[in-house]
Structure 1
Amino acid sequence: MESQLIHTVELGDWALSIASLNNHGIVVGLSDGSLNLVDSNGGFSKINAHSGCISTLTNVDKDNVVATAAADGVKVWDFRCINQGPVSKFSNEKNVPFLSLDSKHGLLGAGSELEGTDSEIYIWDLRNSSPLRKLSESHHDDITEVKFHGTNKDLLLSGSTDGYVNIYDLTFPEEEDALHQVINFASIHSADFLSSSRIYTLSHMETFAIHELNDKSTDLKEPQPVQFGDVREPWSCEYVVGIYPGYVACGSNSQESLTLYPFQDEKVDTERRVTLKPAHGEEIVRDVLLKDSRIYTAGEDSKLKIWQNSHWPVSDETPNAEESQTSKDENTMNEEYRKFKNHRKDGSNEQKSKKKTKDKHSSRFKPY
């Protein structure tokens, strides 16, 4: 099925990242450092947010507040008082650009570009500009992804172009001890917790996999993942824009199209697709957002496009099926995880999985 294009908003520079605020509209981050607030009819207003490209933005809450990451730091914006500037600013000691960002549980986490031999992850309490935590020893290239666990505030995920996805247990004060699980995959385009106990990884080479969160108290060996391999042929695309709650978005520049497939229960339904043509022409689509009856797409043609979504009862608010199960499964997982933490704290001599030397892979395109 094809979706109808409703509005095209000319923004003046690459549109890289999208968020939705219930009380205000759609927020778009641009490569010129501006934030753009777009209403349902395609009208927009611009805020000069950063001195350079906005790497990414994320919701702090669903109604009024977003955070943005760029070369000049991380800023938090409350759209109830947007004309007064950012309500908070965060930076790092080296003044290195931040590339990745997430906010949950009253916390803000950001990953940096490589500077010297290490890249860094900073974690802040939103009420205080001083960092709660810095992780600087576990990645050795640009950190392209940082994600908090949806329900467990003590778990943090990071992904990097060094080929690794790391899971940290933030209850351990030392970084070496906090490194709970290492996934050796490939140069990471994106990664996240799919559910309470599963993680996905998507590489810049368009390979995709689903991994188990290691929560066993007696076995620290990484469980075998579900490997999808290179998904370009089975998903009929040239690149994957992203993995979103309830769907995947795939682009084809040569076909000037964007295709959305339902993604539930770790399965991609390639038979029930929604196609957006001409998408963003021959330019790359950088982000997608489903909200109510609309599909929003941002691209390197400097446009935000608004499409009619009349085919799927799905939006970015839709949880995966596993997240919709009863709290019994969640409680069971959390209890197993607590036992695992206690086991480690009691002086276990088990050794963590060691990272193997791996060549750096070239990126399809930089996330910034």
Structure 2
Amino acid sequence: MESQLIHTVELGDWALGIASLDNHGIVVSLSDGSLNLVDSNGNFSRTDAHSGCISSLRNVDKKNIVATAAADGVKVWDFRCINQGPVSKFLNEKNVPFLSLDFEHGLLGAGSELEGTDSEIYIWDLRNSSPLRKLSESHHDDITEVKFHGTNKDLLLSGSTDGYVNVYDLTFPEEEDALHQVINFASIHSADFLSASRIYTLSHMETFAIHELNDKSSDLKEPQPVQFGDVREPWNCEYVVNIYPGYVACGSNSQESLTLYPFQNEKVDTERKLTFKPAHGEEVVRDVFFKDSRIYTAGEDSKLKIWQSSHWPAPDGSVDSEELQTSKDENSLNEDYRKFKKHKKDGSKEQKSKKTKKDKHSNRFKPY
């Protein structure tokens, strides 16, 4: 099933992240450091937010406020007074660029680039510019992901290009004691809590896995993760844009396409899909976002594209049953894994190259 392109918004530089504010519209972050507010007709207004590329964009609330991370710090923006500048700004002791960002439970968390031998995670309460917490001993390369647990305010996840995903129990004051779980996977593109007790990991080599969150109150041995391996062949793509609630987004530069697959019950159903052509041409798709009946895509062609489909995977994970029919019903993650393993090419562990611009960066996941 294909979607219909409604508007193309030319933004002037790489479109990297998308957020939505109920009272204002769609917010797009760019590699030139600007935030762009786009309405439903494709009109936009620009705010110069950072001195360089915005590496992460997150909602602080659903109506008015977003946060951004870049080389010159983390900033919080209230679009009711956007022309007055950020309402809050947070820095780190070394003035190192921030790469990852999340907000939950009234807390803002950010992960930094590597400086020296360690990279750092900072946690702030928005009411105070001084950090509540700094974690600086657990990663030894760029921190590409920071996520708070959705229901447990004491759990924080981080992922890094050092190959590790860490889960911290923030009730412990010492970092060594707070390190609740360490997942040794691969250079992390993204990771998050799938549910109260499950974690996904997606690497820059396009490998994917689902892990159990450790229950240290139990003597049971931690279950082995479900390893999907390199998903480019079974998901018919050249790279994974990201894992979203209810769907995964996959891109193919050579085919100039973007494909969404339903992701329900921790299974990806490749028999049901929504396609976007020509997507963003031969350029990398950076983000995908659903709002009402429209789908927004951001790419390295400097465009935000607005699409519509009468039947599409909804953000809550529900899928319209009329248009998206499946030919089989798999009953377990292990069966799903066997399907992926069957299609996996032997020895296919090297990442396919992706079209990039030499004056920007050589990896799709580092927007600087």
Which TM-score tier does this pair reach, normalised by the shorter chain?
0.7 to 0.9
Distance in 2 of aligned mates of 1:367 and 1:215: 33
* Paired amino acid for 1:203: S
Q: Which runs of 5+ in 2 are unaligned?
A: 320-350, 354-361
2:131 & 2:226 partners in 1: Cα distance?
36
Distance of aligned partners of 1:221 and 1:121 in 2 relative to their CA distance in 1, 3 Å threshold: farther
Aligned-residue offset at 1:319: 5.8
Residues in 2 aligned to 1:289 and 1:220: alpha-carbon distance in whole angstroms: 39
Distance in structure 2 (CA, Å) of the matches to 1:297 and 1:140: 33
Q: What is the DSSP-based 3-state SS (H/G/I as helix, E as strand, rest coil) of the residue aligned with 1:145?
A: strand
The answer as to 2:25 corresponding to 1:2 is: no
In 2, the alpha carbon distance for the partners of 1:222 and 1:320 equals: 30
Task: State the identity %.
Answer: 88
Aligned to 2:90: 90
Matched with 1:231 is: 231
Distance in structure 2 (CA, Å) of the matches to 1:276 and 1:221? 43
Separation in 2, partners of 1:365, 1:103: 24
Number of aligned residues: 327
Q: How does 1:190-209 map to 2 (within 5 A)?
A: 190-209=190-209
- The residue number in structure 2 matching 1:63 is 63
Shift of 1:364: 4.8
Q: Residue type of the partner of 1:145? A: E
CA contact (8 A) 1:181 1:222 kept: no
Asked if 2 retains the 8 angstrom alpha-carbon contact of 1:288 and 1:297, the reply is yes
**Counterpart position of 1:265:** 265
Counterpart for residue 365 of structure 2: 366
Q: Is the 8 A contact 1:261 1:272 kept in 2?
A: yes
For residues 76 and 148 of structure 2, what CA distance do their matches in structure 1 show? 17
Structure 1: how far apart are the matches of 2:147 and 2:261?
23
Q: Distance in 2 between matches of 1:199 and 1:301?
A: 32
1:339 aligns with: none
- Is 2:43 aligned against 1:39? no
Q: Which residue of 1 aligns with 2:339?
A: none
Amino acid at match of 2:365: K
Structure 1 gaps of 5+ residues are 322-360
Q: Distance in 2 between matches of 1:104 and 1:64?
A: 16
**Take 1:17 and 1:185, find their aligned partners in 2: how far apart are those partners?**
25
> What amino acid sits opposite 1:118 in the alignment?
D
Deviation of 1:54 (Å): 0.2
Residue pairs, 1:250-261, within 5 angstroms: 250-261=250-261
Q: Please report how far the alpha carbon of residue 366 of structure 1 lies from its aligned counterpart in structure 2 after TM superposition.
A: 3.2
Q: TM-score, normalised by structure 2?
A: 0.87
Aligned counterpart, 1:310: 310
Cα displacement string for residues 136-178 of structure 1 (whole angstroms, at most 9, x for unaligned residues)? 0000000000000000000000000000000000000000000
Q: Contact between 1:122 and 1:131, CA under 8 Å: does it hold in 2?
A: yes
Which residue identity does 1:60 align to in structure 2? V
Contact 1:191-1:200 within 8 A present in 2 as well: yes
1:301 to 1:107, Cα distance in 2 relative to 1, 3 A: same
SS at match of 1:131: coil
Q: What is the letter of the counterpart of residue 365 of structure 1? A: R
Q: Structure 1 residue 310: deviation in Å?
A: 1.8
Confirm or deny: 8 A CA contact 2:18 2:27 kept in the other structure.
yes
- Shift of residue 221 of structure 1? 5.5
Rounded to whole Å, the distance in 2 between the matches of 1:7 and 1:68 is 25
What's 2:326 paired with?
none
* Counterpart for residue 51 of structure 1: 51
Report the counterpart of residue 215 of structure 1 in structure 2: 215
Q: Give 4+ residue runs of structure 1 displaced > 3 Å after superposition.
A: 218-222, 361-364
Letter in 1 for 2:225: P
